[in-house]
């Protein structure tokens, strides 16, 4: 029951995030009087819908996204009167574009000339299409503010919980026994013990474990004076900091050779301030952007895990099924307290919203970023025309990008299907 409850909590949280994303678009569309005929969460057949005014609201059966339907998303060809549907005769791609224009313009009724999306000012289109990703980014900030400032998080302390017995590279970190001929760690050599508090390192006072970690990593190959507090008394030690292959602190996929001591810190729940929220959001935004750049490579890994013997990358992409399964694992975990479980759910929802918001900013149709790019291009063209006293160029014809749009849509469908399959046959497991 706990597993099902956890899976349901994250599933519903994801659907609510999608609905709020669409609300971001919808609010600006209504503000600028764009006629909006549908507000849907999900795709495919409709599960339930109801009508309020000119808009149909509903939930569809496939919970892989959502949309609002605004009339006039695709403009007529320049020179055509609004509502005109012109037959094309210039080839398959042009026929495709004109067919899509025709379908879009069939929704435009007499009197809608000022209510079509394409006819709005560039900054209004920018706000309408930015509203969805902005809502997700605001939700991410809210969730991480709740996590860091309200609940608090486990923060490592400069107090030793465990001393590693021998030197092993990051690639062998899962070993339970020391390999033959493995050298003892510097911590083992100088007799550090669990419970020791490190109060000074190379002359620098230590109050924060992360500062200590950075100092240790920068002193590989050096013998460094260190002061520890044990049983209420200070002890001075000269520690020969070794060099070892470790995960990069900012990029877990990157292995670097750095200074190594061989200790595991204790941790305590600490509430943090707004600066920590800002720092965390900046760090996570950079990591998410990097993950999006590496998405094609990551999807190869998902394919190999789904149809081969490879393990799923815990830092790789995950679909709605995988997210729900992680939620179930967290809820059913006996290693976590109730507060820790709540913290994980809040963190996961914050991370999901950040990923959804940034993914939608990719400047390709049918994603929001494609329309945002179109609005910005329109602004640039208008500014250029104004500076050089040329005629107003009008709206940017995003319909010309439809061939690329259909290819991108097909890629998204394949990616979504692959993630669902991988999440079913070889899911990412929560192991905390």
From CA 190, how far away is CA 316, in angstroms rounded?
39
Helix spans in 106-190 (H): 122-145, 186-189
Peptide bond into 93 cis (omega under 30): no
From CA 382, how far away is CA 17, in angstroms rounded?
35
From CA 124, how far away is CA 29, in angstroms rounded?
8
The closest alpha carbon to 259, from 250, 249, 269, belongs to: 249
The residue to which tokens 């200790």 are assigned: 263
Clarify whether 22 is annotated catalytic.
Answer: yes
- How many C-beta neighbours within 10 Å does residue 388 have? 7
Contact 263, 187 (CB under 8 A): yes
From CA 167, how far away is CA 243, in angstroms rounded?
9
Catalytic residue among 22, 98, 219, 378: 22
- Give every CB contact of residue 81 below 8 A, 6+ residues apart in sequence: none
The closest alpha carbon to 14, from 291, 320, 315, belongs to: 320
Q: What residues act catalytically? A: 22
């Amino acid at each position: 029951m706990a597993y099902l409850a956890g899976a349901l909590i994250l599933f519903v949280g994801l659907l609510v995030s999608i609905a709020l994303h669409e609300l971001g678009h919808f609010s600006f569309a209504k503000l600028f009087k764009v006629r909006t005929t549908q507000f849907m969460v999900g795709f495919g057949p409709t599960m339930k819908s109801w009508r309020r005014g000119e808009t149909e609201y509903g939930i569809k059966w496939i919970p892989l996204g959502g949309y609002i339907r605004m009339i006039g998303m695709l403009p007529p060809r320049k020179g055509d009167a609004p509502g005109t549907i012109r037959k094309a005769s210039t080839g398959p791609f042009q026929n495709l574009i004109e067919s899509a224009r025709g379908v879009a313009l069939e929704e435009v009724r007499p009197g809608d000339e000022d209510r079509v999306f394409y006819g709005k000012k560039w900054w209004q289109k920018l706000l309408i299409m930015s509203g969805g990703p902005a809502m997700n980014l605001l939700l991410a900030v809210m969730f991480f503010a709740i996590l860091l400032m309200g609940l608090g998080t486990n923060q490592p302390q400069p107090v030793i919980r465990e001393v590693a017995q021998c030197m092993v590279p990051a690639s062998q970190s899962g070993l339970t026994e020391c390999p033959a001929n493995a050298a003892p760690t510097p911590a083992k050599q100088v007799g550090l013990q669990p419970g020791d508090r490190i109060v000074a390192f190379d002359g620098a006072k230590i109050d924060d474990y992360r500062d200590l970690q950075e100092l240790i990593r920068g002193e590989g190959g050096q013998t460094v004076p260190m002061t520890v507090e044990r049983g209420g008394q200070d002890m001075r030690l000269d520690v020969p900091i070794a060099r070892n292959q470790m995960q990069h602190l900012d990029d877990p996929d990157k292995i670097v050779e750095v200074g190594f001591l061989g200790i595991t810190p204790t941790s305590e729940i600490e509430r943090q301030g707004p600066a920590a929220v800002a720092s965390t959001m900046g760090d996570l935004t950079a990591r998410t952007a990097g993950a999006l750049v590496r998405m094609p490579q990551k999807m190869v890994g998902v394919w190999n895990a789904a149809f081969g013997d490879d393990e799923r990358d815990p830092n790789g992409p995950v679909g709605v099924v995988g997210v729900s399964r992680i939620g179930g694992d967290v809820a059913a975990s006996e290693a976590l307290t109730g507060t820790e479980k709540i913290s994980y759910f809040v963190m996961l929802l914050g991370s999901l919203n950040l990923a959804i918001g940034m993914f939608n900013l990719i400047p390709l149709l049918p994603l929001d970023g494609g329309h945002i790019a179109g609005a910005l291009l329109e602004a640039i063209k208008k500014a250029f025309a104004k500076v050089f006293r040329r005629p107003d160029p009008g709206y940017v014809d995003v319909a010309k990008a439809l061939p690329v749009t259909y290819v991108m849509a097909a890629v998204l469908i394949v990616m979504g299907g692959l993630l669902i399959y991988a999440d079913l046959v070889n899911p990412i497991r929560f192991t905390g």
